[in-house]
Chains A and B, each alone.
Chain A
């Protein structure tokens, strides 16, 4: 299959799946959970969920370039968002890579189909960017562990079926080496409470804080090695890292189109300059993403990859701000744009803040000393 062929086939499949008025009524369908769940199931069955994976696991064995083309197509046509992004993007890959046969048998396919949704318990009140500072304890007891502690900013925890929890299992080991990854069935678990934390803007994903008080989890639900949780976390977060630029690239281009609609004709010079700069940012995301992928496939180092999260998320913020600036008071009625503007603020925080990204570039790419 060619790159264009893969994108074409996906486009046709998606068009056949979605209602005819999907493009016009995007805002309404955004919150249509039944549609989003149906889309995930169908994408799993047809191999469009994680296209690079094998058939039967939500994929069709596409190569990285075909996969990029499919993901770009999905972003451009604003394919329905997965009901639980972390379940497919982080948890399923971790289970596939590190899971025991029994864990894979019981959890992988239901997670990919959307029958099981997950809370990803990483951050804690005192461990945000500094994940290795986490202090939720998992103490060895007969047949398993007792978990005690608190997780926070766990997206959709109050509606999730299972939780992936990073816990300290060895308090004497160096920080990164005493962490383990445990899988917890929330339906039968004791000593767990989840409290919803309201976000500051209507329509955004809900997140929660979770409290654990001697919650029991059996030995069989340890994912990866005991005290090997850091490796699981780093590896899982890197899944589909090749794709990190796609949404930002497509979002910037879309927001620039809406900026032009609001301007309806002549743009002030300073707006034109900023618009041209953002169009250039978008093109740079695309070309850098493709350049890094080509280097990766050829087995060459590709440090340029490290600019994508920082440039992408910050460009989306600038684009939303520009669009609203051009819209003026009219922008107050544009719920979609206002929501996108707010979401863009979260994007420079989650998954490694912009400040952490700059540290990574400064230290790992440029070789500057750690402070």
Chain B
């Protein structure tokens, strides 16, 4: 076992304890009425150093690597955390694909100090000309919350990552069902954009898949816990319903799906940390995203079925887990999308 493992485990425990206290169902539900409420949660996350985990030590972060980030994001998903931690972690990881430069170091330093950020991969056709961007990128998570946007755009020398001060960018809200994970469009109009020298868009997208997967694993784990708790308590026909194999076997299958996704996500996160070249990583990152999307969607749907009518009310976590699962699943390719990609390429190419 590596010390990395130990760090990640300790970190996970402390994040879980804090979020169990802070990210209550009331807090999750309040986001609909109070769209700015996330700022409190974010301030707490910053205070506790969670976004800084993804930032290298040289820029004032903890530099614990993707493995540790994934552990935190799994807990964020489990607790339906409403602050833009997933988006910011993904953006920081995208920045870290580049060697040190003023653009990279400045943005990472700002994230360590508390700036929310997001990665905008939506439009590879976007062109950066003379240091400025024009056009729109749809489907950007936390578009309206991020102070920094890392944007995929085309340059004369091919696809590249740019850093944009997102506070000066107009964002339009929606679509998306989760008020705690709003998805929006970034509208650039002669927006200054700083090229990130040596940034690697492909690796940024791979890391984004894995970190999304980590959150979805947490969503699946929470749904299963809720279903198991209910099935162990609810009585019908004179029996606890968890005794019925129709219920028990469904939940056992969900556990298989959950651990399948957790293993692939952990393996992919570790691989990102130890394999700097990224060789052989494309398939694994897609497997993790596919498995986690599937585990979250199936797990939440099954939990709703087990809870019955209570499962479809907003007085229980499940519809909120469904919203989170749906957003996470739709972004960056769902299970079928990645399975089709993996299946249609010979194994030696699908790496």
Contact = CB atoms under 8 A, between A and B. Distances in A.
B277 interface: no
Interface string B239-269: 1101111011101110110011111101100
B248 A288 contact: no
B342 interface: yes
Contacts of B287: 279-280, 283-284
A194 B11 CA distance: 60
Given A288-B263, A294-B1, A276 B228 contact: no
A9 B211 CA distance: 38
A110 B240 CA distance: 52
A188 interface: no
B138 to A, nearest CB: 25
Nearest to A278: B343
B72 interface: no
B339 interface: yes
B255 A359 contact: no
Contacts of A267: 343-344
B259 A288 contact: yes
A281 interface: yes
A358 B255 CA distance: 10
B34 to A, nearest CB: 36
Nearest to B266: A291
A226 interface: no
A304 B263 contact: yes
Contacts of B283: 279, 283
Interface in B62-80: none
Interface stretch (A46-54, A55-63, A339-347, A362-370): A362-370
A260 B291 contact: no
Contacts of B247: 368
B346 interface: yes
B338 interface: yes
Q: Which interface class (under 10, 10 to 19, 20 to 34, 35 or more) fits A?
A: 35 or more
B106 interface: no
A280 B252 contact: no
B308 interface: no
A368 B256 contact: no
A269 interface: yes
Given A298-B1, A358-B245, A358-B248, A283 B264 contact: yes
Given A280-B339, A304-B262, A362 B242 contact: yes
A283 B242 CA distance: 31
B265 to A, nearest CB: 9
Contacts of A310: 252, 256
Contacts of B259: 288, 304, 307
A355 B253 CA distance: 11
Interface in A309-352: 310-311
A355 B255 contact: no
Contacts of A311: 256, 260
B252 A358 contact: yes
Contacts of A371: 239, 243-245, 248
- Taking residues whose C-beta sits less than 8 angstroms from the other chain, chain B's interface range is 35 or more
Given A368-B248, A369-B242, A281 B342 contact: no
A271 interface: yes
A279 to B, nearest CB: 5
Nearest to A269: B340
Interface in B15-64: none
A287 B255 contact: no
B284 interface: yes
Contacts of A367: 228, 232
B299 to A, nearest CB: 12
B248 A359 contact: yes
Given A279-B347, A280-B291, A287 B245 contact: no
A266 B344 CA distance: 7
Contact of A362 (B249, B262, B350): B249
Contacts of A290: 267
B343 A361 contact: no
Max chain A CB contacts within 10 Å: which of B232, B267, B346? Answer: B267
B86 interface: no
B336 interface: yes
B269 to A, nearest CB: 11
Interface in B317-350: 335-336, 338-344, 346-347, 350
A280 B264 contact: yes
Contact of A276 (B240, B243, B267, B343): B343
B243 A370 contact: yes
Contacts of B242: 362, 368-369
Interface string A268-302: 01011111110111011001101100100010000
Contacts of A368: 228, 231-232, 242-243, 247-248, 251
B120 interface: no
Contacts of B266: 287, 291
A223 B1 CA distance: 38
B339 A276 contact: yes
B290 interface: yes
A369 B243 contact: yes
Interface in B264-309: 264, 266-267, 283-284, 287, 290-291
Given A284-B264, A367-B228, A368-B232, A307 B256 contact: yes
Which of A256, A362, A363, A365 is packed against the most chain B CB atoms within 10 Å? A362
Nearest to A271: B343
Contacts of B251: 362, 366, 368
B252 A366 contact: yes
B336 A273 contact: yes
Interface string A8-19: 000000000000
Given A279-B342, A368-B248, A361 B264 contact: no
8 contacts: A257-B347, A260-B346, A279-B287, A283-B287, A362-B251, A367-B228, A368-B247, A368-B248
Interface of A: 253, 256-257, 260, 266-267, 269, 271-277, 279-281, 283-284, 287-288, 290-291, 294, 298, 304, 307, 310-311, 355, 357-359, 361-363, 365-371
Closest 7 CB pairs of A and B: A276-B339, A275-B343, A276-B342, A276-B343, A272-B343, A362-B248, A368-B242
